[in-house]
Amino acid sequence: MRRKIVAGNWKMNKDLKQGLELIDEIVNMNSAEDVLKIIATPFIHISLAADKLKDKTDFAVAAQNCHQSNAGAYTGEVSAEMIRSTGAAYVIIGHSERRSYFNESTSVLTQKVNIALGNDLTPIFCVGESLDDRNSNQHLEVVRQQLKEALYHLSPADFSKLIIAYEPVWAIGTGVTATSHQAQGMHNFIRSEINKKYGKDISENTSILYGGSCNAENARELFSCLDVDGGLVGGASLKAADFVAIANSF
């Protein structure tokens, strides 16, 4: 049975005090206990957030990125080993903003996946296409290649540890949301591709999250799709009531 997951990606928002207050707000609201709520905070919050949530079996903490090396002279970077030492258990890798703004290549993303798994972090690996890719009917091939080039070197045991997040890049921060039909179509395609490579058991047990402007208004319809197992939520995760409402949309 695939786990239902809602992951909140705060991006570069909330100072230390604001972030900890937001976590308290979220925890104090009634949220579905059978839904895993992952909170991906900026690095400054991670250790304190993990400590706050350590006894909550339906909550976890993620980093938004990690470096591809365990240690070294990389000023300003944070390693997977450091992240794991805080008590965080997840890390987002390959987010469209990292690919676009920081030019993260497939080679770098592959290294990050490897280093995360080697430090007992669960990667939330993002794939997705641009508007041009979709308009030119290349969206399926783009996502296929993203999966193949960054992940298909993994053993079945390691791949089975991943969470996949589908980001229609054209629907992030634009107010445009893929229809539930479009979301289900791509999620089903991703699951079928995983099935081809790793078999039905792994494909049927891999959680695939929708990561394109998911909010309290559209979450119920999106989550009703057979292959949509939750959401990677951006702006709506910065408001406790909205984040909890999304988690309760199942």
pLDDT digits (tens, 9 = 90+) for 133-146: 988 999 999 999 99
pLDDT, position 175: 67
Nearest to 164 by CA among 178, 147, 177: 147
Range of the structural domain that residue 243 is part of: 4-247
Contacts 24+ apart (CB under 8 A), 151-154: 151/110, 151/113, 151/125, 152/197, 153/110, 154/113, 154/117
Task: From the candidates 139, 167, 187, 193, give the one annotated as an active-site residue.
Answer: 167
pLDDT, position 172: 75
Q: Assign residue 34 the CATH number of its domain.
A: 3.20.20.70
Nearest to 164 by CA among 139, 137, 193, 141: 193
pLDDT, position 88: 98
Positive or negative, the Cα torsion across 39, 9, 88, 116?
positive
Task: From the candidates 95, 97, 104, 193, give the one annotated as an active-site residue.
Answer: 95
* Three-point CA angle 236, 238, 242, nearest 5°: 45
Is 95 a known active-site residue? Answer: yes
What is the domain count for the chain?
A: 1
* Residues with pLDDT less than 70, the chain: 173-175
pLDDT, position 1: 78
